[in-house]
Structure 1
Amino acid sequence: MIVSIESSCDDSSLALTRIADCKLLFHTKLSQDSHHSPFGGVVPEIASRLHAQNLPLLLTKLTDFLRTLNPNAPFAPLKAIAVTNRPGLSVTLSEGMCMANALALSLDLPLLCLNHLKGHIYSLFIDTPHAHIGEGLGVLLVSGGHTQILHMRDYEHITLVAQSLDDSFGESFDKVAKMLSLGYPGGPIVESYAARHSGALLPMPIPLLHDKRLAYSFSGLKNAVRLEIIKAQGMAKDISEEAKAQICASFQEAACAHILHKLRIYFQRYGGYFTHFGVVGGASANGVLRSRIESLCQEFGKTLILAPLEFCADNAAMIGRLACEAYMRKEFSPLGDMISPKSLSEDFIVL
């Protein structure tokens, strides 16, 4: 069994995964949303301090579970400690690495330092011993920090096809929510406001619409939302709930249209290289986006794979599933504070 630790941003999470069949045996998580909501986004120093408080609490829960399996020697079945060490916030990654080093050293177990984004890909295969890659797997990763199109041939060959030039899909939802004083995290809040509106939409630009590059950009759309908010405010201090709903619906429509426009180009250019298509990351929980991608996959004859909603956001279960692959390949890491705010050059093949 492998203990996995996730602390790349604002979610503290531990999991226990059985190596033989990649079965998730235990998973626990503590969210920090309520602590960051007053600020409209993640405050790194607060996140780091909360990880220092929460991770030991989660370890106690995990230890109690291990005792139910083996009361006399709860840690005896463990074969490795896995931890996210990139990409993410340095001050929060350090908290997870500190615990991972302590456990690996005290239990004399090998350490697996893993890429958080690869973990998101493997959220598609939790509880599944074999990855459903088929003749190739296309992946859309949409989260608070990343928007990427990836192509996976196998564990060792994952190509970065496209990414955002500025803000991410999830980050743009957070910033729109902040501009409208709706709270954090912005994804579900903006989506819920958008669902309230059934009338006409405001004219919002679809980014890079006439640009042939496979790339994303959300900064211009974010600015368009800002201008609509200014117009809606007029001389008043507050915006009506109706206006907020219309702005959210208009923004969400344009943001999803942007994602789908570039995905269509990807399907047209590289559709012959993959049979399955996965959608991962915290922002992949957006219902409108999921529905549109499902239709696109049907149009192009691709098999859509979606991560369970509970494993879309950051979690240790996906790190544990990735860790099973790394363990079988003996990709062990030395003890130390080996963290990086970005992916390493060897993590992905770049087109």
Structure 2
Amino acid sequence: MTTVLGIETSCDETAAAVVLDGRTILSTIVASQIDLHARYGGVFPEVASRAHIEAIGAVVEQAVHDAGVGYDQIDAIAVTRGPGLVGSLLVGVNYAKGLALATGKPLLGINHLEGHVYSLWLTEPNREIKFPVLVLIVSGGHTELLLMEDHGQYRRLGGTLDDAAGEAFDKVGRLLGLPFPGGPNIERAAMMGNAIAYKFPRAKRDDSYDFSFSGLKTAVLREVTVPPASGEPRRRGETPRLRADVSINDVAASFQDALVSALVDKTARAAKAYQVTEILLAGGVSANQVLRQRMRAEAGLPVRYPPLNLCTDNAAMIAAAGFYRYRAGLRHGLELDVKPMWPLTSDAYTR
């Protein structure tokens, strides 16, 4: 049996977890910063870094304590080295390096996106996943469509050309005056709205598997806000004012429908083209119930997604990915550095 301690600080969650054999969670601790960033309507990098520094020691020690293990029983330390916010990443990587030095345990720098992939291995520990599978990672910072042909073997089929899906949720949520984060609050508002009240564009209808949500976001802006006086361009930093006749619930439902349609259409088409066995949804936006329901209904294949507590950033997924990389022989020294921009490909760990 292999026990891995995972550490995650790529954005605004300080997290640590202990996972057995990449499948069984012994403990998972997450210190969220949502309340800190709510006043900014999004993640403020400097605030995030300071909060990580304050929380990380207690979070890691709590995870080890709750797992009921000592450091002598931990086989490896896996930490997110990228992609993410450079200041946030440095806090986790530097702490993990110090811990590895103090305990003599192997250190593994893990790709955050691969962590989201391996959150699916934590959902049903006794069920094996048969390759190839199609993975859709949808979060605040990423929208990636990957063909996974084996452990560590990825082919990127498409991704966002501009705003990530979660970023689009946050920006439209802010436009509508909804609290941060936008995703769950738009979903709640949409439950009381009419999804066909507004005809928003379905985002990049072409033969590629790429996504583009900036046009959808702009369409919402034009539809629901008061235009600048005398046709003048909107001033940078100016907060748009909603029209008096706008139904926030209808806008939320129509926007959500358009964004989900783009995700489902391209994912279902790729699943058929590459003859995969199933579809894996991961990342914070995979918590969206409409996305889950539509994907199950339209893909014609089994669709798996994490429980809600594993959709958003956590360290159990980093420990799970770390187990498979540890088993494949990955080791890093104390020279390990962060990689704020780090695509997930088959050669990601060799470049």
Give TM-score, length-normalised by structure 1.
0.89
Question: How many percent identity over aligned positions?
Answer: 34
Task: Give yes or no for the alignment of 1:223 onto 2:237.
Answer: no
Tell which deviates more after alignment, 327-336 or 314-323. Answer: 327-336
Is the aligned partner of 1:322 residue 2:317?
A: no
**5 Å matches for 1:236-255?**
243-255=247-259
Asked whether 1:261 is paired with 2:265, we answer yes
Seen in structure 2, the aligned counterparts of structure 1 residues 77 and 30 have a Cα distance that, compared at 3 Å, is same
Of 103, 106, 126, the residue aligned with 2:122 is: 126
Q: Deviations over 1:115-158 (max 9, x none)?
A: 11011010001165677432411111101111111111111311
Do the aligned residues in 2 keep the contact of 1:276 with 1:304 (CA within 8 Å)? Answer: yes
1:343 Cα shift? 1.4
Distance of 2:54 and 2:35 partners within structure 1: 15
Aligned-partner residue type, residue 218 of structure 1:
F
1:311 aligns with 310
Q: Deviations over 1:155-197 (max 9, x none)?
A: 1311111101110111100000111221211100011111111
Question: 1:173 is matched with which residue?
Answer: 169
Check the 8 A contact 2:5/2:319 in 1, yes or no.
Answer: yes
Letter aligned with residue 227 of structure 1: R
Residue 344 of structure 1: how far off its partner (Å): 5.0
In structure 2, what is the Cα distance between the partners aligned to 1:132 and 1:91?
37
**Which deviates further from its counterpart, 286-295 or 149-158?**
149-158
Partner of residue 89, structure 1? 85
CA distance in 1, matches of 2:323, 2:124: 11
Q: Deviations over 1:100-122 (max 9, x none)?
A: 00100000111011111011010
Q: Deviations over 1:4-44 (max 9, x none)?
A: 1001111110001123x732101100111111111111111
**Matched residues in 2 for 1:240 and 1:285: separation?**
31
SS in 1 for 2:259: helix
Q: Which residue matches 1:98?
A: 94
Normalised TM-score (structure 2):
0.89
Change (3 A) 1:344 1:140: closer
Question: For the Cα contact (< 8 Å) 2:26–2:66, is it kept in 1?
Answer: no
The 1:12/1:84 distance shift into structure 2, 3 A limit, reads: same
Change (3 A) 1:322 1:291: same
| AA at the equivalent of 2:283 | G
| 1:156 aligned partner | 152
Within 5 A, what are the aligned runs for 1:186-201?
186-198=182-194, 200-201=196-197
Contact map agreement 1:41 1:174 (CA 8 A) in 2? yes
Q: What is the match of residue 42 of structure 1? A: 43
C-alpha contact 1:2 1:81 (8 A) present in aligned 2:
yes
Letter in structure 1 aligned against 2:267: L
Aligned-residue offset at 1:336: 2.6
Q: Indicate the SS of the match to 2:247.
A: helix
| Amino acid aligned to 2:313 | D
**SS state of the match for residue 145, structure 1?**
coil
Distance 1:290 1:138, change over 3 A: same
Structure 1 runs of 4+ with >6 Å offset: none
Q: Tell me how many residue pairs correspond in the alignment.
A: 337
Separation in 2, partners of 1:215, 1:344: 15
Distance 1:128 1:110, change over 3 A: farther
RMSD: 2.4
5+ residue gaps, structure 2, are 230-239
- In structure 1, runs of 5+ residues without a counterpart are none
Map Cα deviations across residues 202-258 of structure 1 (whole Å, 9 max, x no partner): 12111112x222210000000001112215999x95556961111111111111111
- Cα distance change on mapping 1:237 and 1:217 into 2, 3 Å: closer
Name the SS for the 1:28 alignment partner.
strand
Pairing partner for 2:285 from 264, 283, 286: 283
2:199 counterpart SS class: coil
186, 202, 208: which one aligns with 1:206: 202
Q: Provide Cα deviations, 1:46-101, integer angstroms capped at 9, x if missing partner.
A: 111111111112123134336x44xxxx3211111110001111110000001100
**Which residue of 2 is the match for residue 15 of structure 1?**
17
Whole-angstrom distance in 2 between the partners of 1:88 and 1:77: 30
Cα distance in structure 1, aligned partners of 2:323 and 2:304: 20
Change (3 A) 1:91 1:303: same
State the secondary structure of the residue aligned to 1:76. Answer: helix
CA distance in 2, matches of 1:140, 1:337: 28
